[in-house]
Structure 1
Amino acid sequence: MEPAVVSRLARRLEPLHSMIYFAPEVGSELGELGITHPRAQYFAQRSAAMGAVGPGVVAATYYNFNPGLIARFVPGVWATASPADVLNARLRAADGALRRLLGSAVSSRECERTSVLARRATEACRPEDRALYAAHADLPWPDEPHLALWHAATLLREYRGDAHLHALLGAGLTGLEALVLHTATGRGFLVEFAQATRGWSAEQWGEASAALRERGLVTGDGGLTEEGAAFREGIETETSRLSTAPYASLGDDTDELAELVAGLTRTILAAGAFPDGVFASGSTRTPASR
Structure 2
Amino acid sequence: MLSDAVPALRCPVCQGPFGLSGPAPFSLRCVAGHSFDAAKQGYFNLLSGKGTVFEADTAEMVAARNDFLGAGHYAALAEAIAELVSPVLSAAGSLILDSGTGTGHYLRTVLDRTPTAAIGIDISKFALRRAARLNPGAINLVWDIWRPLPIADHAVDAIIVVFAPRNPPEFARVLRPGGRVIVVTPRNGHLGEIAERTGMLGIEPGKDERLAESMQEFFALADTIQLDVDLKLDGRDLADVAFMGPAGHHLERPALVASTATETSVHATAKFTLSVFTAPEDGS
TM above 0.5, one fold? no
More strand per residue: 1 or 2? 2
What TM-score does the superposition give when structure 1 sets the normalisation length? 0.25
More helix per residue: 1 or 2? 1
Q: Higher relative CO (CA 8 A, sep ≥ 6), structure 1 or 2?
A: 1
